[in-house]
């Protein structure tokens, strides 16, 4: 008889409404007896998988555009997004993974040609104040990190994070002793500093002094070669981006910055050497070198020419060879200035 009264499958809207109810229950009933709470969380896990299937399809049937739009609209109308973020620490790893996929998909869904996730997040930017500090909790760090990267696909969200106090905390997060968490932080940090060109250029210009002071001391001069490797690669990506041309010009007029690059050229790691080379060449190619930079290059000329004469990479690269030849030529023909020479003993 039970089969005759089988419950009707929930519609996409009803799925999200029931998800909302379950999230409210789990968040608001922490004192509920363990068995009841476990049942609700189990139901929540299954429902997240069902919603994921609506959004992605099941491998045989493609997702229905109308059903996806209904899920998306309901999800953001009732603030279910925020509830899910807050509830993630209570879920198991499988449910967290499904939730991450659902949230990632919702960032891209269009309803009446509008990406409503962007509008929702602009009105709820404080959600970033939950996600970013998630890196301080090793249990939830990867989940919150993955969701944070999806959210900063929206320029208004990225701007909020860049302009917040959270940016200063990233320099600490990047040095997490847990390799996987540090790598996740690095992925987020890179996304923040490369995705939205105009916003990044504004941020770097407005925060130049403190940002590069932290970048140099915490990252480029870190004892961790992995931190140094990521940092010098990202620095090259930022400085070589046309949107950051004003920042690049300012950066390559600093003798302190060039000293750091010259020290990194001596790093034992080949990848760090090569990525440093791509930054160092900007100092040498600068047509308006300050006298103190010319002085250091001239004083260390023989060492630099010997270094670059022997500096090779494992594969043939015509651009690398052309850049190296240009650096050698530029250093070889530099004329000394009237300033006292400064020798870098470390090079």
Domain boundaries, given as residue ranges, for the chain: 9-123, 196-337
- Res 347: pLDDT: 66
Give φ, ψ of 111 to 5 degrees: -120, 115
Distances (CA, A) of 317 to 313, 322, 324: 8, 9, 11
- Res 1: pLDDT: 44
* Contact indicator for 169, 158 with CB cutoff of 8 Å: no
Distances (CA, A) of 319 to 69, 278, 315: 48, 11, 12
> Can you list the pairs that 262-266 forms with residues at least 24 positions away whose Cβ atoms lie under 8 Å?
262/300, 262/344, 262/346, 262/347, 263/346, 263/347, 264/220, 264/228, 264/232, 265/307, 265/347, 266/346, 266/347
Residue 114, classed as helix, strand or coil, is strand
Residues 18 and 80: their CA atoms lie apart, in Å, by 10
What is the pTM assigned to this prediction? 0.90
* Contact indicator for 190, 231 with CB cutoff of 8 Å: no
* Contact indicator for 126, 117 with CB cutoff of 8 Å: no
Residue 287: count other Cβ atoms within 10 Å of its Cβ. 5
- Res 26: pLDDT: 87
* Contact indicator for 278, 235 with CB cutoff of 8 Å: no
Polymer length of the chain: 347
Just give the CATH number of 196-337. 1.25.10.10
Residue 4: count other Cβ atoms within 10 Å of its Cβ. 5
DSSP-derived letter for residue 219 is: I
Q: Which residues contact 10 (CB under 8 A, 6 or more apart)?
A: 18, 50
Q: Mean pLDDT per 10-residue run, the chain (347 residues)?
A: 60 93 85 76 92 89 91 92 93 91 93 91 96 96 96 96 96 94 97 97 97 97 94 97 96 97 95 96 95 95 94 85 95 79 53
Residues 305 and 43: their CA atoms lie apart, in Å, by 68
* Contact indicator for 252, 271 with CB cutoff of 8 Å: no
Residue 196: count other Cβ atoms within 10 Å of its Cβ. 22
Q: What is the 3-state secondary structure (H, E, C) of 34-92?
A: HHHHHHHHHHHHHHHHHHHHHHHCCCCCCCCHHHHHHHHHHHHHCCHHHHHHHHHHHCC
């Amino acid at each position: 008889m039970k089969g005759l009264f089988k419950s009707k499958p929930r519609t996409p809207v009803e799925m999200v409404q029931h998800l909302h109810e379950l999230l409210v229950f789990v968040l608001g009933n922490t004192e509920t007896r363990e068995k009841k709470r476990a049942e609700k969380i189990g139901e929540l896990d299954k429902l997240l998988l069902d919603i994921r299937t609506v959004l992605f399809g099941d491998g045989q049937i493609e997702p229905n555009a109308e059903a996806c739009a209904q899920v998306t609209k309901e999800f953001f109308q009732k603030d279910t997004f925020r509830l899910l973020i807050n509830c993630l620490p209570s879920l198991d790893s499988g449910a967290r993974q499904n939730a991450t996929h659902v949230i990632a998909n919702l960032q891209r869904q269009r309803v009446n040609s509008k990406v409503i996730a962007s509008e929702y997040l602009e009105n709820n930017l404080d959600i970033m104040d939950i996600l970013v500090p998630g890196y301080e909790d090793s249990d939830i760090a990867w989940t919150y990190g993955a969701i944070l990267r999806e959210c900063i696909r929206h320029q208004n969200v990225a701007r909020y994070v860049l302009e917040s106090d959270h940016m200063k905390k990233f320099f600490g997060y990047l040095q997490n002793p847990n390799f996987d968490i540090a790598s996740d932080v690095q992925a987020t940090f890179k996304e923040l500093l490369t995705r939205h060109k105009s916003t990044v250029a504004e941020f770097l210009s407005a925060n130049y002094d403190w940002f590069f002071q932290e970048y140099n001391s915490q990252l480029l001069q870190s004892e961790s070669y992995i931190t140094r490797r990521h940092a010098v690669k990202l620095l090259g990506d930022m400085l070589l981006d046309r949107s950051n041309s004003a920042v690049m010009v300012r950066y390559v007029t600093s003798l302190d910055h060039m000293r750091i690059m010259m020290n990194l050229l001596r790093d034992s790691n080949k990848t760090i050497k090569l990525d440093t080379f791509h930054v160092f060449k900007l100092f040498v190619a600068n047509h308006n070198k300050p006298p103190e930079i010319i002085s250091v290059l001239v004083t260390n000329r023989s060492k630099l020419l010997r270094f670059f004469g022997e500096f090779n990479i494992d594969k043939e690269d015509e651009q690398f060879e052309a850049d190296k030849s240009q650096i050698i030529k530029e250093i070889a023909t530099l004329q000394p200035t009237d300033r006292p020479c400064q020798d870098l003993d470390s090079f």
